[in-house]
Chains A and B, each alone.
Chain A
Amino acid sequence: MQTERTDEELMLAYGTGDTGAFEVLYSRHRGPLFRFMLRQAREHCIAEELFQDIWQRVITARQRYRPEAKFSTWLYQIAHNRLTDHWRALSHRPPAPEDAIERAEREPDPQTPERQLSTFEERRRLQLALEELPADQRETVMLRLDQELSLEEIGHITGVGRETVKSRLRYALDKLRQRLNT
């Protein structure tokens, strides 16, 4: 039984010219990364633009890649930097659009219809709570909840220490829980 290649092995293979390795790698991370960008950028088109830029940077840096850290850490570090550039270019983070919930609901929902009513309210509240979080806390909590990254890995991605990540995560989780319970 052939063991599945790790992300690092796939990236190194792509650096030597194996385009198939990149396809596997892309299929593994396209979804979580896009969701992450969507949560941060709020606009689907902006999320797609940032998403494409991130992968272009991965392609460009394929020969310089060194497996000193996890590939996911490296990938989300690029995403974080791209988001930072995006916010800097905008000079400020745009406020949440008034129809943010409706926009989010237009996205395909994999859940069964039987649970849509109960879960709808949960998701709506969580969505609003996430919108109200500061950008750094939101980014931290999304990396933690969606990617299940460790605090140290999140610190590598966002460029802060572990304690700062821990603090941000604690504040974010408290707000989310508070919002859900109201």
Chain B
Amino acid sequence: MTTPERPLEPLSDNERDLARISRALPTGEPSALLDARILKAASNAIAGSSKRRVRWWASTGSAWGVGTAAAAVLAIGISWQMRHSNSPFLPTEIPTGMSEEKSEPSNASAEFKQETPPERDHAPSQALAAKTDDSFARDAQSETKEVTGHATAKTIVSPTTARATPSPFPEAAVEDRPTDVGSVEASPIIDTDLAATGTLGKDTAPPAKSMYSGASEARQEAGKKQNLGMAATSSVANEPAAPVALQSGERADQTLRMRKSEVAPSVMADFGDDPEQWVKRIRQLQQEGKLEEAQMRLSEFKKQFPDYVIPADLIALLQP
């Protein structure tokens, strides 16, 4: 009935006696119907498993086909996306006008110097801001190119131009951009600064930093130098006027226009552009006894014509 093996632990006498009685108990047997049901289930399980194996193999083909097609579509879609997106920074993210900028292998400071002259004749306007934005973009490109070595404008421009896009330059243009100082229609802020401290560059230096934040150090240094140079030439009574080194013709004109903006229009109308005329008028004031006015005009004269040697008879006016 069971396995042919002998039990490992044979029954004791007591157990054998009880086993005899137990086996004599009405044992009961499973009904024939129950036997048939169990045997039929066993045979059906074998038959069903073989059918399932066939069904599974038959369905794998279609399943594999669907899966392969889905994978192929996915791969095609991914490759198409990668082909049409050239860089991590999508062109749409780059502000208009900047995405088309191409990187220029130029020195940042040199670029800056080239930037400033065209702006001296223009009032701080949106056009100026836009132009400066372009210059800033070019600066950013060159800076980034120096750092990353990449040449694609889109890649370079995106992070920095995004910041510059809201055009911080209008504010900077009004307050601190050195190039704006040369314009005729100077902002009251500049005039106030001049009146208070007389040192334009001093006030503009710190904001220049924010203006050029993110730019290269070379460009910042160039800006600072320009500011300092301008500060030196524009200093008033507290600081002796140091002769400014001769610059290029364009720079001199820019300086001249900047000086003119510091003098009241009425004075300019009275004294004119001729330094000889200025000297003559100052002497006249001195002879008339209007020493204070003469001193004032002499200081203005120095600003206007820093290279002009002051006559000996007027030097006394310089002394307090």
Contact of B22 among A19, A31, A145 (CB under 8 A): A145
B3 on the interface (CB 8 Å rule)? yes
Instruction: Please name all residues of chain B whose beta carbon is closer than 8 Å to the beta carbon of A8 when the two chains form the complex.
Output: 3
Contact of B18 among A107, A145, A152 (CB under 8 A): A145
Instruction: Please name all residues of chain B whose beta carbon is closer than 8 Å to the beta carbon of A55 when the two chains form the complex.
Output: 38, 41-42
Contact of B24 among A19, A106, A122, A180 (CB under 8 A): A122
B248 on the interface (CB 8 Å rule)? no
Q: How far is the CA of A119 from the CA of B22 in the complex (A)?
A: 11
Could you tell me how many residues of chain A have their Cβ less than 8 Å away from some Cβ of chain B? Answer: 61
Which of A32, A55, A72, A153 counts the most B-chain CB atoms under 10 A from its CB? A55
Q: Mark A1-30, 1 if CB is under 8 A from B, else 0.
A: 000101110000010010100110010111
Q: How far is the CA of A97 from the CA of B45 in the complex (A)?
A: 38
Q: How far is the CA of A104 from the CA of B50 in the complex (A)?
A: 43
Within residues 92 to 141 of chain A, which ones have a CB less than 8 A from any CB in chain B? 104-111, 119, 122-123, 126-127, 130, 141
Given A106-B26, A107-B27, A148-B11, are A32 and B21 also a contact pair (CB < 8 Å)?
no
A167 on the interface (CB 8 Å rule)? no
Assess the A52–B38 pair: CB atoms within 8 A.
yes
A78 on the interface (CB 8 Å rule)? no
Assess the A150–B2 pair: CB atoms within 8 A.
no
Contact of B28 among A7, A44, A147 (CB under 8 A): A44
Instruction: Please name all residues of chain B whose beta carbon is closer than 8 Å to the beta carbon of A148 when the two chains form the complex.
Output: 7, 10-11, 19
Q: How far is the CA of A19 from the CA of B44 in the complex (A)?
A: 9
Q: How far is the CA of A114 from the CA of B4 in the complex (A)?
A: 33
Which of A4, A47, A127, A148 counts the most B-chain CB atoms under 10 A from its CB? A148
Assess the B26–A176 pair: CB atoms within 8 A.
no
Given A19-B43, A48-B34, A59-B45, are A104 and B25 also a contact pair (CB < 8 Å)?
yes
Instruction: Please name all residues of chain A whose beta carbon is closer than 8 Å to the beta carbon of B19 when the two chains form the complex.
Output: 145-146, 148
Q: How far is the CA of A78 from the CA of B8 in the complex (A)?
A: 21
B14 on the interface (CB 8 Å rule)? yes
A62 on the interface (CB 8 Å rule)? yes
Q: How far is the CA of A43 from the CA of B58 in the complex (A)?
A: 47
Assess the B31–A48 pair: CB atoms within 8 A.
yes
B76 on the interface (CB 8 Å rule)? no
* 13 interchain pairs, CB-CB under 8 A: A6-B3, A6-B5, A14-B42, A23-B39, A29-B1, A48-B31, A59-B45, A70-B5, A106-B26, A107-B26, A126-B21, A126-B22, A147-B2
